[in-house]
A and B are shown apart, each in its own frame.
Chain A
């Protein structure tokens, strides 16, 4: 895979549109395939999960991020390195729970929804649900079980998109051999 450093911004922009449009075509197909929005959400989450478990490899290989020592560090890496690398945006980390095991990612300009308007009758559809799956899948590969929910969605009239991540537990058993 070629990863030229000097890739023009124009080319990057285009590849973003390719991704956004392809994602749109996928959601449209899923809506055709399934009766309810909940089923579509579930399917998007599943596909996101499958992407996440692979994407983490790409991410770790290309960023020099080591193991995170707490959930706050994880949040920073997700927002400032992960989102930046793959979607070119930096969401804000906010609304920490007192115990530090829950936070929100505030996404102001969600690239996935660039050309999207949600028609009536899809109030339960989480258009960007794929993102939730990606987060869940990639974090599971670094031994963190998290719960991802969408609290706000700009497509449904909220001012921003808010993704809530809740740390459930460390997956001790899944630790690869040789690691502490």
Chain B
């Protein structure tokens, strides 16, 4: 029963540790991979009692509602898709950013803090059988858009 503050501080510490020690261009992939590991295990634990998902959209809804609520205590605010494998999740108050800024200040630091959540999503989806690429985009903190591009195996 860890308190959420503890997780937030840990996440900040992990980010700052990596940017102090690893090469700049390696940090984001490392953070993303850590998120992937965590998301992968979490998805397994969250869905162990739930019924089979109907389709891709059903899985996305699960990510937006249950997964997001469990991890960030709120739902994703908006889910959009082009029906060709691209989904956009918009979170108007992304928890990892709310403590940092409410404007464009520190915008350059945002990607560092979003790599882990991106990995979380990718890991969770991978566990549910969807391989994808997840990127994050911020224009004005604390709102954030996660773009999920599904890779179909031909």
B45 x A17 contact (CB < 8 A): yes
Q: Inside 8 A of A47's CB, which chain B residues have their CB?
A: 13-14, 17
Please, how many angstroms separate the alpha-carbon atoms of A12 and B21 in the complex?
Answer: 32
8 Å CB contact of B1 from A58, A87, A115: A87
B38 pairs with A22, CB closer than 8 A: yes
Which listed segment binds A: B69-77, B79-87, B131-139? B69-77
On chain B, the residues within 8 Å of A88 by CB distance are 1-3
Given contacts A29-B34, A33-B21, A111-B2, contact A55 B42 (CB under 8 A): no
CB nearest to B2 among chain A residues:
A19
- Beyond A19-B7, A23-B10, is A11–B17 a contact (Cβ under 8 Å)? no
Is B37 at the interface (CB under 8 A from chain A)? Answer: yes
Of the candidates A17, A26, A89, the one whose C-beta lies within 8 Å of that of B14 is A26
Evaluate contact between B34 and A11: CB separation under 8 angstroms: no
In Å, the complex CA distance between A23 and B37 comes to 11
- Choose from A1, A11, A29, A130 the contact partner of B70 (Cβ within 8 Å): A11
Q: How many residues of A contact B (CB 8 A)?
A: 37
Kindly list chain A residues whose C-beta atoms are within 8 Å of the C-beta of B53: none
- Contact, CB under 8 Å: B9 / A18: no
A residues near B41, Cβ cutoff 8 Å: 17, 21, 115
CB proximity of B27 to chain A, nearest CB, Å: 11
- Are A15 and B4 within 8 A (Cβ)? yes
Q: Name A48's closest neighbour in chain B (CB-CB).
A: B13
Measured CB to CB, the nearest residue on chain A to B9 is: A51
**CB atoms of B45 and A86 under 8 A apart:** no
Which residue of chain A has the shortest Cβ distance to B8 in the bound complex? Answer: A1
Q: CB-defined interface of B5-42 with A at 8 Å, one 1/0 digit per residue?
A: 11101110110111001100000001000100110011
In the assembled complex, the Cα of A115 lies from the Cα of B37 at a distance in Å of: 13
- Closest Cβ of chain A to B21, distance in Å, is 7
A contact set with B: CB distance below 8 Å: 1-2, 7, 11-26, 28-29, 33, 43, 47, 50-51, 54-55, 58, 85-89, 111, 115, 130
Residues of B within 8 A of A (CB): 1-7, 9-11, 13-14, 16-18, 21-22, 30, 34, 37-38, 41-42, 45-46, 69-71, 73, 98-99
Could you name 8 residue pairs across A and B whose Cβ atoms are closer than 8 Å?
A14-B42, A15-B70, A16-B1, A17-B41, A18-B70, A47-B14, A51-B10, A130-B10
Q: A15-B4, A29-B30, A130-B10 are in contact. List 16 more A-B contacts (CB 8 A).
A: A11-B70, A15-B71, A19-B10, A21-B37, A22-B14, A25-B38, A26-B10, A26-B34, A47-B13, A47-B17, A50-B13, A51-B9, A55-B9, A58-B5, A87-B6, A89-B1
